[in-house]
């Protein structure tokens, strides 16, 4: 899977980022795909990662979300549901 995530306006530097799933828009879920994120309040996270058949099903079914964490919000400052 190729991915590009643009973000801006964080309260502080990004400390972590990943995809969680499976989850609908109101639920939380464990990390299934980690990313490397550079410290900063804005930026782009891009890359390529191999996904399992289960992960692909979750991604194509709209059951995953990207989350970016900061020191002020260690549980996640911003979240975006991934939809096909």
pLDDT one-digit tens code per residue, 3-38: 999 999 999 999 999 999 999 999 999 999 999 898
Q: Are 23 and 29 in contact, with CB atoms under 8 Å apart?
A: yes
Burial of 36 (0-12, 13-18, 19+ CB in 10 A): exposed
- Residue 77 tokens, joined: 């400052």
pTM of the entire predicted model: 0.90
Domain range for 68 is 2-82
The Cα angle at residue 74 between residues 72 and 77, in degrees rounded to 5: 70
Domain count, the chain: 1
Q: List, in order, residues 6 or more apart from 27 with CB less than 8 Å away.
A: none
């Amino acid at each position: 899977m190729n991915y590009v995530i643009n973000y801006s306006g964080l309260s502080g530097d990004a400390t972590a980022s990943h995809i969680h799933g499976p989850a609908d828009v109101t639920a939380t879920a464990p990390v299934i795909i980690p990313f490397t994120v550079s410290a900063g309040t804005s930026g782009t996270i891009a890359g390529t990662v191999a996904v399992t058949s289960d992960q692909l099903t979750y991604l194509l079914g709209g059951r995953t979300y990207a989350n970016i964490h900061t020191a002020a919000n260690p549980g996640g400052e911003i979240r975006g549901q991934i939809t096909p």
